[in-house]
Amino acid sequence: MPYYDKTGPQGQGPMTGRGFGPCGGGKGFGRGVGFGRGRGFQSWFASQSKDQVKEELAFYKKTLEEELEQVKTEQKKLEKVLCQDQE
């Protein structure tokens, strides 16, 4: 990008180069983490055991149930306000 004026290589406009410059967003080859290729990049996260997954799902279910109760409470409050406005 000449003079950093966002005109691209040879004035052809942005996003027309190979992405190696400071404005390219790292598109050029050899960037990133390897996505499973090469040494040490097989998996970034260890797999969870079945018990951990079960526990996590139970927690998620409880959280959703609590959120549903909050929605129901807000809905009841809104219905009360609407009924009072109609009187």
Q: Per residue in 48-64, pLDDT tens?
A: 888 988 999 999 999 99
**Contact call for residues 42 and 48 (beta carbons, < 8 A):** no
Question: Higher model confidence: residue 39 or residue 86?
Answer: 86
pLDDT band at 45 (very low <50, low <70, confident <90, very high): low
pLDDT band at 25 (very low <50, low <70, confident <90, very high): low
- When pLDDT is averaged across residues 21-50 and rounded to a whole number, the result is 59
Q: What is the pTM of this model?
A: 0.43
Q: How far is the C-alpha of 26 from the C-alpha of 18, rounded, in Å?
A: 9
Question: Higher model confidence: residue 73 or residue 47?
Answer: 73
Q: How far is the C-alpha of 46 from the C-alpha of 30, rounded, in Å?
A: 25
Q: How far is the C-alpha of 28 from the C-alpha of 9, rounded, in Å?
A: 15
pLDDT band at 23 (very low <50, low <70, confident <90, very high): low
